Amino acid sequence: MKKLIAGNWKMNGNLAANEALLRDIAAGLPAQPACAVAVCVPAPYMAQFKAMVAAVPVLSGIDLGAQDVSSQQSGAFTGEVSAAMLKEFGCRYAIVGHSERRHYHGETDAVVADKAKAALAAGITPIVCVGETLAEREAGQTGEVVKRQLAAVIHTNGHCISEIVLAYEPVWAIGTGKTATPEEAQAVHAVLRTQLKAATDQVARVKILYGGSMNASNAASLLAQADIDGGLIGGASLKAPDFLKIIAAANA
């Protein structure tokens, strides 16, 4: 399976910094990388990304992603961005259910499932995030939590579940500098793979990314695991040398 390295810029960047970052990535990006690459940028910068692709052709090898999407198609939902709007900017991916959205914005498993459904209906691949808190891990509830979160998405999306990308992001390892060991991450990815196998006979199409502080130094060991198909990269995606090293690890 072709690996996927997806950068999540979160609420970072400005016009000048974005241009410098993308030009630096372009300078080190293989003409035909063996892995798929995406960057999920803040919504106001999607137009800038499209303009940069036109100006720097090698960037056409990077897919555009959004950091969120509304579960609604249109209407009186101030501040929301619909999947159809994202599609007009050539958006290939949309992150749904990131732990920060679940924690700070109160998104439930059902809301996340509906957002995934809205993305799929517009032809956008949702990157569905699941993961446990430190308290849940210490209580031995990791498997229970991630299976519950994924079950909601399976229930709402049925046979379309084979069209998603799944990302395991242990909440305790996001932005903390901590990371699951390759063996710990692999164990959870294997649980998720088994759950997907029970839901679709097209499980081989579903990429499962690791999203807990993957960086230039640990990417190779994480990506070597049998059920880790790529990474959802936070802070390291804002540093061109680090992001390129992770891409190189996925290309190996």
Segments of the chain scoring below 50 in pLDDT: none
List 38's β-bridge partners, or say none: 6, 63
- In this prediction, residue 176 carries a pLDDT of 76
Domain ranges of the chain: 4-251
- What is the Cα–Cα distance from 15 to 17, expressed in whole angstroms? 6
3-state class (DSSP) for residue 135: helix
Question: What would the two tokens of residue 45 be?
Answer: 């910068």
d(CA 101, CA 56): 33
Longest dimension (CA), the chain: 51
Report the C-alpha gap between 37 and 179 in whole angstroms: 22
Rg value, the chain, Cα: 17
Answer yes or no: pTM beyond 0.95: yes
Segment 234-244, tens digit of pLDDT: 999 999 999 99
| pLDDT number for residue 27 | 96
Fold of 4-251: TIM Barrel (3.20.20)
Residue 61 and residue 56: Cα distance in Å, rounded? 10
**From 19, 132, 169, 189, the catalytic residue:** 169
pLDDT value of residue 204: 93
Residue 180 is predicted with a pLDDT of 85
pLDDT in tens, 199-236: 999 999 999 999 988 999 999 999 999 999 999 999 99
Q: Which pLDDT score, from 0 to 100, does residue 136 have? A: 94
User: DSSP character for 213?
Assistant: S
Residue 179: helix, strand or coil by DSSP? coil
* Nearest alpha-carbon partner for 71 in 99, 42, 101, 45: 101
Catalytic residue among 98, 100, 132, 189: 98
Q: What pLDDT was estimated at residue 140?
A: 95
Among this protein's residues, is 100 annotated catalytic? no
- Reply yes or no on whether 98 is catalytic: yes
Q: Using an 8 Å Cβ cutoff, are 247 and 219 in contact?
A: no
Instruction: Kindly list the distances between the CA atom of residue 103 and the CA atoms of 99, 202, 224, in Å, as whole numbers in the listed order.
Output: 6, 31, 31
pLDDT of residue 178: 76
Q: What is the pLDDT of residue 192?
A: 98
Angle at alpha carbon of residue 104, lines to 162 and 234, rounded to 5°: 60
Q: What is the dihedral of CA 134, 139, 144, 150, to 10 degrees?
A: -10
